[in-house]
Amino acid sequence: MSRETRGREPSRRDFLKGLRATGAGLAAGAMSAGAGLATPTAGAAAPAAMGVGRHAHGHGGAPASSVEFGRIFPGLRPFAEANDTVRGALLEVGKPGGIMDAGDRLSAGPTALIVDPRVNGNPTAANPYGSNPDNPTMTAVSTFVGQFVDHDVTFDQTSTLGVAQNPLISRNTRTPALDLDSVFGGGPGVRPDLYVHNADGSVGPKLKLGSGGAHEDVPRVANGDGSYRGLLGDPRNDESVIIAGLHCAHIRFYNRVLDELSEHDLRRFPAARHADRSNRYVRFLIAREVTLWHYQWLLVNEHLPQIAGQAMVNDVLRHGNRFYRPPAGDGYMPVEFAAAAYRFGHSVVRPSYRANFTSGTGDSTSPTANPFFALVFDPNEPAFSDPVSHDRADLLGGYPAPRRYIGWQTFFDLGDGQVKNNKKIDTTISSVLFTLPLPAIAPHTQTSPTVLPQRNLLRQLTWSLPSGQAIARAMRVPGLGASDLSDIASVHRPFATSTPLWYYTWPKPRPSPAGCTWDRSAAESSPKPSSGCCAPIPRATSAYIHASAHSSVQSSSSVTTQLERHRQPQVHPRPLPALRPRGRSGDVQIITQLLSRLSHRDPRVGAKRLPQAQTGSRTHNPTAASGHDADQRQAAWPATAVANLSDPRGVTTLLIADGRRAG
């Protein structure tokens, strides 16, 4: 509970903030290998009546080990019995054309769905809220950063939709920590197919990278029938061209770190201390740790505050978790998070995107050169659900072709006016997600139904999740009113008083004076629980959050003190000097480009050696304003920064480092 809510009666706002705190707590401290930030302060312990999980080899909400799922509220009853009547009602709630379908006019085409005010879902005189409005405070990439994190921390491959299963005996095939096992696959010894084979017969440490003919692509092998299999730590990172692009970006960053290990002072990284860098596996460990620290820094300091609000993140860092409190050194993935609150991101997906400026015909700074607009999934695509064996007109992944790459100006605000926003977080979902192609459904052991909202709703039965009302009571705050739940009540009346948690955590669409359902300024009043975008940060001593700006691993109190010292302007110590751009176009990868925090409040924040990024017709240089001041900041902040995803003008450099990769 934040400081301003202590000592007064809780409200519905507190309930929503509490849900955000659950997610923020997962991010800040789910993995505990010893003393760390998530150690609750005095008075922060949750009462037993709240049903917070205990750990005694599977007793309570915590599983026997971190490889299984668990619960945050193990004492709460399921929202409904898993029977045919309830399953039918859930399918009705989530059906195409039902109360959750945004009703996008897909026949208008992918370009019109973005630029034509008659069909793009934004407010009109007749509909002040809009049918599927843009969120003016989140750029399009927020959706896919959240999806990339999802694929890093949770993957259920054992349960059956709509059939009750005990999560405590159900394996999570991703590690419940931000360790990028979706990229590294456990290392060269575990997944040698992901790594470059050397002339001497050894494997690694470099990761393989493919090409579609124009720019980077995930590595692939041909199946012999015209289709391809991606070589990935998690196959879901090939579900769309966009998520594949983010995966490639992290590979490129890691490979670049390997190239430049000798150029950086790595003493602050535990893996590099007293290490024999001539050993390939040691170099893998060092470069992996450098990559993870930057990745974790980005999510804790930029992505999480964008969703949870900086005040909530600060509160969790200061006071620890109230609801998610795993045993030390044995964090787990709770199903309330993985199957409900985490899935808010499905609401923000656009029906279509501009993938790049040129459709693979060459690079250009002009957005009108030959842009590749496409639906996420086009139900009119020939062989819609067959294995992908041609260059489709939509953005389904799985196939290499020159135009199937991402020009990131559309997704990040690079200051050139080309960025597009995602959709608002509400109870409507873009219509393209009501007809999924089979290659986009993972795992492939249960491909029915092919309607994403129906799959999410059935999953509430799978894990016997409590109702939203029950969790509100457990958190001791008021729940939602009848008007908030009138739509779902019209489908199945019992859901009005015992609502599926996934549905309950979303706000009902309604106009607001600010014109948006969720933004940072509305973080304390929006019905959106931020849990959905937060993921566990490892709290082993090798995690970034334990390291000082210099080299030591700190205790809970010293880390907290350090974070407090840097609370303004919420920029925490950065782990590595910026990597210099070099090589062919696009060689400044995702995290490197997210290293340049160019805030509109102070465009000089960063290091003197931060790269320039020429995008569109503008070139951004974070230190052009004052070299002297940049030198002073270099001394105070050892060196890198991460893009300010929560600031509409803060993300000014990204994947494209030179004019050859503009679009």
The mean pLDDT value for 298-303 works out to: 80
pLDDT in tens, 9-21: 444 444 444 555 5
Q: What pLDDT does residue 168 have?
A: 95
Answer yes or no: is pLDDT of 118 > 80. Answer: yes
Question: Higher-confidence residue: 496 or 56?
Answer: 496
Going by DSSP bridges, is the β-strand pair 352-356/220-222 parallel, antiparallel, or unpaired?
unpaired
Q: Kindly state the DSSP code that residue 289 receives in the 8-state scheme.
A: H
Across the chain, what does the average pLDDT equal?
Answer: 74
pTM confidence score: 0.79
| Ranges of each domain in the chain | 181-307
Beta strands (DSSP E) in 67-133 are 69-70
Q: Give the chain's count of helices (H) and strands (E).
A: 17, 14
Give backbone dihedrals phi and psi of 528, rounded to 5 degrees, phi first: -85, 120
Residue 393's pLDDT is what?
97
pLDDT over 50 at 512, yes or no: no
Higher pLDDT, 123 or 646: 123
- pLDDT tens string 181-190: 999 999 999 9
The sign of the CA dihedral 24, 29, 30, 31 is: positive
Q: Residue 541 has what pLDDT?
A: 52
How many Å apart are CA 479 and CA 473, to the nearest integer? Answer: 7
Q: What is the pLDDT of residues 598-648, one digit of tens each?
A: 222 222 222 222 222 222 222 222 222 222 222 222 222 222 222 222 222
Cα separation, 452 vs 434, in Å, equals: 6
Q: At what angle do helices 241-259 and 280-298 cross, to 10 degrees?
A: 130
Instruction: Summarize the confidence of residues 230-257 as an average pLDDT.
Output: 94
pLDDT tens, 102-112? 999 999 999 99
Token pair in block for residue 99: 């109360």
Classify the phi-psi angles of 506: left when phi > 0, otherwise alpha if psi is within -120 to 50, otherwise beta. beta
| DSSP assignments along 343-389, one per residue | GGGGGG--SEEEEESSTTS---S-TTSS-EEEESS-TTSTTTTSPP-
**Alpha helices, DSSP H, located in 154-278:** 181-184, 241-259
Q: Which two tokens stand for residue 310?
A: 């900086």
Higher pLDDT, 255 or 46: 255
Query: pLDDT > 90: what percent of the chain?
Result: 48
Name residue, tokens 């509100």: 472
Q: How far apart are CA 16 and CA 423, in angstroms?
A: 20
Q: How far is CA 198 from CA 188, 203, 211, 583, in A?
A: 12, 6, 20, 21
Average pLDDT over residues 525-552: 44
Dmax over CA atoms of the chain, in Å, equals: 70
Q: How many residues does the chain have?
A: 663
